[in-house]
Amino acid sequence: MAELRKIAIVGSARIPFARAYTGYADQSNLTMLATVLGGLADKYGLKGQSVGEIMGGAVISHSRDFNVAREAALDAGLSPRTPGTNLQIACGTSLQAALNLGAKIATGEIDSGIACGTDTVSDSPIVFGTKFQHRLSDLNRARTPQEKLAAFSGFSFGELTPVAPSTQEPRTGLSMGEHCELMARQWGISRQAQDELALASHLNAARAYDAGFHDDLIVPCAGVLKDNNVRSDTSLDKMAAMKPAFDKTSGQGTLTAANSTPLTDGAAGVLLASEDWAKAHGLPVLAYLTYGQVAANDFAHGDGLLMAPTIAISQMLARAGLTLQDFDLYEIHEAFAAQVLSTLKALEDTEYCKTVLGRDAPLGSIDRAKLNPKGSSLAYGHPFAATGARILGLAAKQLATVGKGRALISVCTAGGQGVTAIVERAA
What is the predicted pLDDT for the residue at 70?
Answer: 98
Determine what percent of the chain is predicted with pLDDT higher than 90: 87
Fold assignment, 176-212+247-258+289-422: Peroxisomal Thiolase; Chain A, domain 1 (3.40.47)
In one letter, which amino acid is 114? Answer: I
Q: Tens of pLDDT along 269-296?
A: 999 999 999 999 999 999 999 999 999 9
Beta strand ranges found along 2-145 (DSSP E): 8-14, 18-19, 54-57, 84-86, 112-119, 127-128
What is the predicted pLDDT for the residue at 127?
Answer: 76
User: How far apart are alpha carbons 162 and 126 in whole angstroms?
Assistant: 6
396: pLDDT strictly greater than 80 = yes
Mean pLDDT of the chain: 95
Q: Tens of pLDDT along 31-50?
A: 999 999 999 999 999 999 99
Average pLDDT rounded to a whole number, residues 203-217: 97
Q: What are residue 12's DSSP bridge partners?
A: 270
What is the predicted pLDDT for the residue at 1?
Answer: 57
Quick one: CA torsion of 366, 371, 373, 379, rounded to 10 degrees? -160
Q: Tens of pLDDT along 321-338?
A: 999 999 999 999 999 999
**Sequence spans of domains, the chain:** 8-124+264-280, 176-212+247-258+289-422
User: How far apart are alpha carbons 273 and 56 in whole angstroms?
Assistant: 16
What is the predicted pLDDT for the residue at 333?
Answer: 98
In one letter, which amino acid is 49? Answer: Q
Q: Dihedral sign for Cα 107, 108, 110, 111, please.
A: positive
Average pLDDT rounded to a whole number, residues 384-392: 98
pLDDT band at 165 (very low <50, low <70, confident <90, very high): low
What is the predicted pLDDT for the residue at 164?
Answer: 64
Q: Dihedral sign for Cα 71, 75, 76, 80, please.
A: positive
CATH superfamily of 8-124+264-280: Thiolase/Chalcone synthase (3.40.47.10)
Positions annotated as catalytic residues are: 91, 382, 412
